[in-house]
Amino acid sequence: MSGSPNDPIYIRDGYRCAYQVPGVCSGRADGADHRIHGDRSDRRPSNLISACGSGTTGCHGWKEAHPAAAGAWGWTVSRHGDRDTSRVPAHLDHPVYGQGWYALDDEGGISRLHAAPGGGGLLDSEGREYAWPRWEGQ
């Protein structure tokens, strides 16, 4: 993160860790975690999530140690597939909207998603469909 209180990632995630892993989370946002590994220059807001800890501690460390689970939650997006992180939902604990599935956009916005009828995917409030995240490895 830039460290600025005006950083769109801080604002979007309520100045706290958006992962909130039980028994691990400190609650505070220590930095911006990249959803796509291997390209630290990709600073699009849809590719960044506020996290506590580092790559070995806190929720950020938990994510790194559990790649399949992190992929299933949309916290990690494979660099080998579609890199449009704005189309990959993430399961987050938002301070205003609560725990659930969200779409993150590249302007720093966040939209709550709901299960589509029949469980085929996720829908936003305008009826756009998002596929469930799937983990294909880094």
Q: Is the dihedral of CA 83, 44, 39, 93 positive or negative?
A: negative
- Would the pTM count as exceeding 0.75? yes
Structural domain span for residue 121? 8-130
- Please tell me the distance from the alpha carbon of residue 127 to that of residue 80, in angstroms, as a whole number: 28
The answer to whether position 136 is within a domain reads: no
The answer to whether position 43 is within a domain reads: yes
Beta bridge partners of 91: 101
The answer to whether position 45 is within a domain reads: yes
The answer to whether position 109 is within a domain reads: yes
Number of folded domains in the chain? Answer: 1
Per-residue pLDDT reduced to its tens digit, 65-100? 999 999 999 999 888 777 789 999 999 999 989 999
- Please tell me the distance from the alpha carbon of residue 6 to that of residue 26, in angstroms, as a whole number: 22
